[in-house]
């Protein structure tokens, strides 16, 4: 039985951490070579991915531990430049684990394609004729993906919406079950393919043919309980619920609250080279549907424990996309060990909830800077010029002095180098 509660993982040496991850995920020597930096995205492949290519950019990737989701253990690869995100996520997962972990549900992976029809001579009539041709249009769309059709997926339904202020315009919304793909390509292909038939049937002209990133037919819901005794007691729990109501009632807070959620989700999407902009667009537009608000909710149960929940659209794939081009992204997927896009969506929602819980708990208690600056102190020491063991020496000295700043790091480094050169003379 796999166990993601890897004790003192953060204290281990890098090689040992990689070994533990490799054991957990049954990684091959080739995968370990990737993690240890001996094999990565080649310049040749990278050049074929974007235009005017010049180089690649590195982002550190770590592993969040302790995740138990629907009874299964996961280690979660997270690529992010911000310190304390991975630690916070692992902390919240550890607390949730004590109450059975995260319980999630993902809907069918239905994406929406939008076909905008303009200059329609008789929109009311066109709406009816388009719906009468529903079967024919769906059949046509499905010609574009034999593999989805074989899986009884593909174009499933369509419906018409219209503008109130633009009388000669209708929108045909195509619902496509994209299974394990993110789905943008197939949805766009289908929309473009049926567009001429849509023009003929409606008497109008097709303008835009593109998927919607508000994938609110591809939702994931997730809940976890955080025991009050493990998070600082009843007052902290009460304050967490107050923090939620702050986000619910104040759009400026809601934006930051949701940013914290996306800190976690984006980091996993980047580690797996999924389209994080699509998920961001979906998350924020969904958060705006009844007036912009938080994507998570927090409430107390009868014992005073905190129940956290998240509902979020999640357009992600486990096949297709750019993932295959990147050896690290492929190893990340192996570490995650998800068998479908909906399992992946459930992992992502759990990470978002964990991240948000950890941030809100810290904010409602000791404040975020304490933990954050402690971890950031290493970056500050490096930026000041510290190398090797000096990074730890200077960062822990700043933490001890409660004075974590670039100027103090430079002072300490100068002192250290000066004292050491004295000793040598």
Residue identified by tokens 């979906």 is 282
Residue-wise DSSP of 194-252: HHHHHHHHHSSEEEEEEE-S--TTSEEEEEEEE-GGGTT-HHHHHHHHHHHHHHHH-HH
Tokens representing 254 are 């809601």
Between 86 and 170, name the residue whose CB sits nearer to ligand MEV: 86
Query: Measured from the CB of residue 404, what is the shortest distance to ligand MEV in angstroms?
Result: 17
User: CA angle, 411 as apex, 407 and 414 as ends, to 5°?
Assistant: 140
Point out which residues bind ligand MEV (CB under 6 A): 82, 256-257, 259-260, 263, 359-360, 363, 368
Query: Measured from the CB of residue 340, what is the shortest distance to ligand MEV in angstroms?
Result: 30
Q: Backbone phi, then psi, for 152, in 5-degree steps?
A: 60, 30
Between 261 and 338, name the residue whose CB sits nearer to ligand MEV: 261
DSSP 8-state assignment for residue 10: G
Catalytic residue from among 16, 36, 82, 229: 82
248 is a catalytic site residue: no
Query: Measured from the CB of residue 355, what is the shortest distance to ligand MEV in angstroms?
Result: 8
Between 173 and 256, name the residue whose CB sits nearer to ligand MEV: 256
Tokens representing 234 are 């009843």
Catalytic residue from among 275, 280, 374, 376: 275
How far apart, in Å, do the first and last CA atoms of the chain sit? 58
Query: Measured from the CB of residue 244, what is the shortest distance to ligand MEV in angstroms?
Result: 11
Q: Are 357 and 91 in contact (CB under 8 A)?
A: no
Between the alpha carbon of residue 18 and those of residues 62, 86, 255, the distances in Å are: 10, 16, 35
Query: Measured from the CB of residue 100, what is the shortest distance to ligand MEV in angstroms?
Result: 25
Residue identified by tokens 């000295």 is 397
Between 80 and 172, name the residue whose CB sits nearer to ligand MEV: 80
DSSP 8-state assignment for residue 121: S
Query: Coil, helix or strand for 291?
Result: coil
Query: Measured from the CB of residue 260, what is the shortest distance to ligand MEV in angstroms?
Result: 3
Residue identified by tokens 């719906």 is 131
**Tally of CB atoms within 10 A around 155:** 26
Catalytic residue from among 12, 156, 227, 259: 259
Between 323 and 360, name the residue whose CB sits nearer to ligand MEV: 360
Query: Measured from the CB of residue 364, what is the shortest distance to ligand MEV in angstroms?
Result: 10
Query: Measured from the CB of residue 310, what is the shortest distance to ligand MEV in angstroms?
Result: 13
Of 3, 1, 9, the residue nearest 64 (C-alpha): 9
Q: How far apart are CA 104 and CA 340, in angstroms?
A: 14
Name the CA radius of gyration of the chain, rounded. 25
Q: How far apart are CA 24 and CA 4, in angstroms?
A: 8
Nearest 10 degrees: Cα torsion 190, 195, 201, 206: 140
Of 241, 354, 236, the residue nearest 300 (C-alpha): 241
Position with the least CB separation from ligand MEV? 260
Residue identified by tokens 């929602």 is 349
**Tally of CB atoms within 10 A around 66:** 25
82 is a catalytic site residue: yes
135 is a catalytic site residue: no
Element (H, E) at 243: helix 234-249
**Tally of CB atoms within 10 A around 16:** 11
Query: Coil, helix or strand for 365?
Result: coil
So which residues are the catalytic ones? Answer: 82, 259, 275, 372
């Amino acid at each position: 039985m796999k166990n993601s509660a890897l004790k003192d993982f953060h204290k281990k040496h890098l090689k040992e951490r990689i070994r533990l991850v490799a054991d957990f995920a049954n990684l091959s020597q080739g995968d370990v070579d990737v993690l240890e930096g001996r094999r990565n995205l080649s310049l040749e492949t990278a050049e074929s991915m974007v235009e005017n290519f010049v180089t690649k950019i590195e982002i550190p990737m770590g592993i969040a531990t302790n995740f138990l989701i629907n009874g299964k253990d996961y280690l979660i690869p997270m690529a992010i430049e911000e310190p304390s995100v991975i630690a916070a996520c692992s902390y919240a997962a550890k607390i949730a684990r004590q109450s059975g972990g995260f319980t999630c549900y993902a809907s069918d992976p239905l994406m929406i394609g939008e076909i905008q029809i303009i200059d329609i001579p008789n929109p009311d009539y066109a709406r009816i004729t388009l719906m009468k041709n529903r079967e024919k249009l769906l059949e046509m769309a499905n010609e574009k993906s034999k593999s989805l059709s074989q899986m009884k997926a593909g174009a499933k339904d369509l419906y018409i919406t219209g503008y109130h202020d633009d009388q000669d315009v209708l929108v045909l919304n195509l619902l496509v079950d994209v299974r394990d793909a993110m789905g943008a390509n197939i949805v766009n292909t289908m929309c473009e393919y049926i567009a001429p038939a849509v023009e003929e049937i409606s008497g109008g002209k097709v303008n835009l043919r593109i998927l919607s990133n508000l994938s609110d037919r591809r939702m994931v819901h997730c809940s976890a309980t955080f025991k009050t005794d493990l998070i600082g007691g009843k007052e902290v729990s009460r304050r967490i619920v107050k923090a939620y109501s702050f986000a619910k009632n104040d759009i400026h807070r809601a934006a930051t609250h949701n940013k914290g959620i996306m800190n976690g989700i984006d980091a996993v999407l980047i580690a797996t080279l999924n389209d994080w902009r699509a998920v961001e667009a979906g998350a924020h537009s969904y958060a705006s549907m009844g007036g912009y608000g938080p994507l998570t909710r927090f409430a107390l149960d009868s014992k005073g424990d905190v129940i956290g929940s998240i509902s979020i659209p999640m357009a992600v794939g486990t096949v297709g996309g750019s993932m295959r081009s990147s050896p690290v992204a492929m190893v990340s997927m192996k570490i995650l060990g998800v068998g479908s896009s909906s399992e992946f969506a459930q992992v992502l929602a759990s990470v978002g909830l964990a991240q948000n819980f950890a941030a809100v708990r810290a904010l409602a208690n000791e404040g975020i800077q304490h933990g954050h600056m402690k971890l950031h102190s290493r970056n500050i020491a490096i930026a000041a010029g510290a190398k090797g063991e000096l990074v730890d020496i200077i960062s822990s000295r700043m933490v001890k002095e409660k004075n974590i700043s670039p100027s103090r790091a430079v002072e300490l480094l100068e002192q250290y180098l000066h004292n050491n050169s004295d000793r040598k003379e």
